[in-house]
Structure 1
Amino acid sequence: MGDRMTLLATIVVLGVLIFVHELGHFMAAKSVGIDVQRFSIGLPPTMVGFRRGETEYVIGWLPFGGYVKMGGMDDEVMERIEGGAGEGAEEEAGEGVVTQPREPKPGDFDGKPIWARTLVISAGVIMNMLFAYVVYTGVNAAWGRPELAENRVAQVLPELLPPGAEALAQLTSGTRLISVGDRQVSHWGDVQDGFLEAPAGPLTIVADEPRTVVEIDIASDPQERIQVLQGLLYWIDAEVGFLNPGSPAERSGLEVGDRISVADGVAISNWWDLVDVIEDRPDIPMELTLEREGQSLTLSVTPEATAEDDPVTGETVIVGKLGILGPIEELVYSDVSLAQALQLGYAETVGVSRQILGFVRDLFTGGVPLRSLGSIVTIGSVAGQAAESGLETFLRFMAFFSINLAILNLLPIPVLDGGHLVFLGIEAVRGKALSVETRMRWSQVGVVVVLGIMLLAFSNDILRLFGL
C-alpha cells in the first residue's frame, strides 16, 4: 500500500503542477497571438495525444517536465536557421557557412514585442504561485485555521522580548497559559490572538502549573507584539518525529519515536532544550540517553556544523544539526470567514516563498550542504507521506511544491524560465536580440547545468538509501 500510495501521489503532484505551469505559458501565448504547435505534459515518447486546430495536445511517458512548443522558438533551431527548415538563404564565408535567421512569421514567438514575450515566459511561474495561493486559501476555508492544541510554554527567550514585556521571563518551563488579557486560552492560537489583539497598555497573563500572574505593558506597535510571541516557545515533546536520510542522527542509530531524556549530560524536558544542546556542539561528539519501546538506550552522535543566521543579531553563526524534526503536533481548527481565508492564503504563500528563497540563498552561499538536495525520489517519498497523512496535508504539500517549482524556474539558467528572461533583458538593453546560435549555445550550457544538478540530487538520494 505504501509504495502504491507513493507512486500515485508522485504522479498526481507532478502531473497537476506541470499542467498548471505549462497552462500558464499556453494561455499567455494564445492571448498575445503566438501560434502554439504542441502542448505537452510529460516528455517523449508520447503516451497519448490528439490535435485540435493548430495545436497538438500530448501526454508523454516521462513525468519529469512538460513544454509548450510555440511558433519559431529557439528550441526548434532547425526551423529558424537557414538550411535547417529550408527557409532563407545560405551565404558561404571561407570554409564555413554563415546562417542568417529568417524573418519571424506573425505567429512566431520572436515576432512579438518584448513585453509580450516576457509575459509568456513569466506566465508559468505566475500560475504556479496563483495555484499555491488558491490551494492555501481553499484549505483554510474548508478546514479552518490550524492551531496548535498546546497551551504550555516550553521556554521564554528574554533577549527577544521588547521593552515592557520582560516580566514574561517569570513563566517557567511547562506552565500552562490560562488567559491573556480578556481572552481565555485553550490552544496556542488563543495565545497569539491574545497578544496581537489586546488594547495597548497593561496586560495580565495568568498561568497554571505553577500558578503565576504576570503583568506586562503591551505596545501598540504590531512588530513589538510579534516580538513577544517570538520570545515565547510553545511546548514540543523531545521526541524524534522525522529523520533526514543520511543525516548524523540516522547514522547514529536514532529512530522515529525515540524520546530523548539526556543530551551530553544535560537533562532534557522538551524539544527546545534538545535543540539548545545540539546547536551548541557543532562537530563535537556527544551522547544521547533515550527511551525506545520502554527501554533506556545510549547513543553517540556528532552534530553536523551548519551555518545559519542568528535570530537576534542577524549574523551568520555555526551551529550543530542532527537532521531530525520533532513529533507532529496535535492541531485544532478555528472556523474562518472567506476574507480571513484569503488573508491566511496570502500569508502562507508569502511565508513559504521566503522560506524557499532562504534555502536557495543558503545553498549557494554554503549555509546548507549540497547533500540537502533531493531528486524525484525525495519528492515522491514526501508526497507519499503527505498523502497518507490526509487530504489537507497532501494539498498543502502540493501548494508548497508549486511555489518551489516556481522559484526554481526563475533561476537564471538557460533552458529555465529565468534564463529566457535574462535573454529578454539583454535584448531590451542592447536594442536587439542575441543571435539564435548564441542563445542555443547558452541553452546547451544550461542543459548541462540542469542535468548536473539532477544527477547530484539523485546521487544524494541513492547515498541516503544506503545510509551513506
Structure 2
Amino acid sequence: MTFLNALWIVPILGILIFIHELGHFVMARRAGVRVEEFGFGLPPRIWGVKRGDTIYSINLLPVGGFVRVLGEDGKSNAHDSMQSKTAGQRARFLAAGSAMNLIAAVVLIAVLIGVQGRSSDNVYVVNVNPGSPAADAGWQSGDRFLQINGATITSSDEVSRLTTRNAGRATTVTLDRAGEVITTTITPRENPPAGQGRTGITLSSAPNATIHVNTVPSDSLAAQAGFHAGDIIQSVDGQPVPDYLAYALALRNRAGGDAQIQVQRDGAPVTLTAAIPTDLPVDREPLGADLTQQLHFERVSPINIPLETVRTFGSTMRQMGTGLMSLVR
C-alpha cells in the first residue's frame, strides 16, 4: 500500500504543472502573444486539434503540460512573438504560472473548508531545557497550550508568534496538564541561546482526532498489553487522548513504569495495563501497534469561509517560510 500511495504523486504533480502552464497560456493570450501549442502531458503527441493559431494536444506522458509560444527561443520578432513584447509583459508571462498555482491553492483550501470544515491542532510541550524560562515557569513535557495572554491557541505557529511578540515581557500562559488547567507566567527571552527558542522548549502539534488501533503485531508491547484491532484509545491513566501526540507523550512520560490505558472495544470501555520500557522508540508508535487517525472537523458557516481561507493560507505560508529558513541557518 505504501508504494501505491506513493504513485499518487504522479497525478498530483501532473495537475499542479498543468495549472501552472494554464497560467502562462492565459497571460500569453492577454499579452497578444501567439500560442503555438498548449499541451496536456508531455510529448510524443497522441492527439491534437488546431483552433486558430494554436494546437491543443494530448500527449503520451501524463505528467503536467506545456505551453509553446512564438519567439520563446529568441528566433522571431514578429508582432505577436514574445520577443516583441515589453519587459513588463514578459515578466507577467513568466510569473503567471506561479500565480495560478497560488490561486489554485487558495481555491482548494476554500472548497475543503466549505465541504469538510475546519480542523484545529493541539499544541504540546515536548521537551523543556533546564534553566530556561519554561523550566522556571514549571512547564512540563505533555503540557498542552490553551491560551497565551487570553488568545486561544490552535497551532504551533501561534505559540511562536505570540512568544516572539511578548519577548522581554511577562506573559500569562494557560496550560492543560492531565486535565487540570494551570495558569503560569513566563518572560520569553529577547536573545535566546542558539537552538532553544525564546521559552526554551521543543513543541509539537497534532490535529484533533480519534485514535483507532488498526493492527497489532503479535510480538509487540501492544499485544502484550491486550490491544485488539478495532480498539479506540480513549485515555492514559485517566488523561483523555484527544489526538495521537497526547497518547505518545503520556506513554513517554511514564517510561519505566506501568500505564492504565482505556480503550473502547465493541462499544464498551476496557482498561489495559501496559508496561512502558525506558527506551521508547521516537520514530514509531510507542507500543508497536499500527494506529490510524480519524480527524475531527468543525463546520464553518459560509460567511466565515473567506476569512478562514485567508487564515489557513497565511498559516501555511508562514510554516513553509519557517521551514525554508531552518534549512539555510
Q: Same fold (TM over 0.5)?
A: yes
Aligned-partner Cα distance in 1 for 2:156–2:311: 18
**Contact kept in structure 2, 1:235 and 1:271, CA below 8 Å:** no
The alignment partner of 2:184 has SS state of: strand
Report the equivalent of 1:231: 201
Aligned-partner Cα distance in 1 for 2:64–2:39: 9
* 1:139 lines up with 2:138 in the alignment: no
**Contact kept in structure 2, 1:41 and 1:66, CA below 8 Å:** yes
Aligned length: 251
Q: 282, 297, 302: which one pairs with 1:333? A: 297
**Contact kept in structure 1, 2:156 and 2:205, CA below 8 Å:** no
Report the equivalent of 2:57: 58
CA-to-partner distance for each residue in 1:340-372, whole Å, 9 max, x for gaps?
A: 32122133134325535765x58xxxxxxxxxx
Aligned-partner Cα distance in 1 for 2:79–2:157: 61
Q: 1:328 to 1:235 in 2, by over 3 A?
A: farther
Aligned-partner Cα distance in 1 for 2:146–2:24: 53
* 1:128 lines up with 2:101 in the alignment: yes
CA-to-partner distance for each residue in 1:98-134, whole Å, 9 max, x for gaps?
A: xxxxx61111111112221122122212222332233
* 1:108 lines up with 2:78 in the alignment: no
| Corresponding letter in the other structure for 2:65 | G
Identical positions, percent? 22
Q: 145, 156, 161: which one pairs with 2:128? A: 156
**Contact kept in structure 1, 2:142 and 2:177, CA below 8 Å:** no
Q: 159, 163, 172: which one pairs with 2:140? A: 172
* 1:25 lines up with 2:20 in the alignment: no
**Contact kept in structure 2, 1:137 and 1:344, CA below 8 Å:** no
Report the equivalent of 2:323: 355
TM-score, normalized by length of structure 1? 0.41
- Aligned CA RMSD, in angstroms, stands at 5.1
| Corresponding letter in the other structure for 1:216 | T
Q: 1:354 to 1:108 in 2, by over 3 A?
A: farther
The alignment partner of 2:97 has SS state of: helix
CA-to-partner distance for each residue in 1:296-336, whole Å, 9 max, x for gaps?
A: 99x9x9xxxxxxxxxxxxxxxxxxxx9x5778777443455
Q: 1:110 to 1:160 in 2, by over 3 A?
A: farther
The alignment partner of 1:146 has SS state of: coil
Structure 1 position 154, deviation (Å): 3.3
The structure in which a higher percent of residues are helix is 1
**Contact kept in structure 2, 1:181 and 1:203, CA below 8 Å:** yes
TM-score, normalized by length of structure 2? 0.56
Aligned-partner Cα distance in 2 for 1:157–1:328: 31
CA-to-partner distance for each residue in 1:126-184, whole Å, 9 max, x for gaps?
A: 22233223323443444344223x576433346775xxx6643x13334566777778x
Q: 1:230 to 1:119 in 2, by over 3 A?
A: farther
| Corresponding letter in the other structure for 2:201 | G
| Corresponding letter in the other structure for 2:319 | G
Larger relative contact order (C-alpha < 8 A, sep ≥ 6)?
1
**Contact kept in structure 1, 2:40 and 2:66, CA below 8 Å:** yes
CA-to-partner distance for each residue in 1:270-318, whole Å, 9 max, x for gaps?
A: 49989xxxxxxxxxxxxxxxxxxx9999x9x9xxxxxxxxxxxxxxxxx
The structure in which a higher percent of residues are strand is 2
Provide structure 1 residue ranges, at least 5 long, that are not aligned to the other structure: 81-102, 222-226, 237-254, 261-268, 275-293, 302-321, 363-468
Report the equivalent of 2:262: none
Aligned-partner Cα distance in 2 for 1:179–1:116: 48
Structure 1 position 32, deviation (Å): 0.9
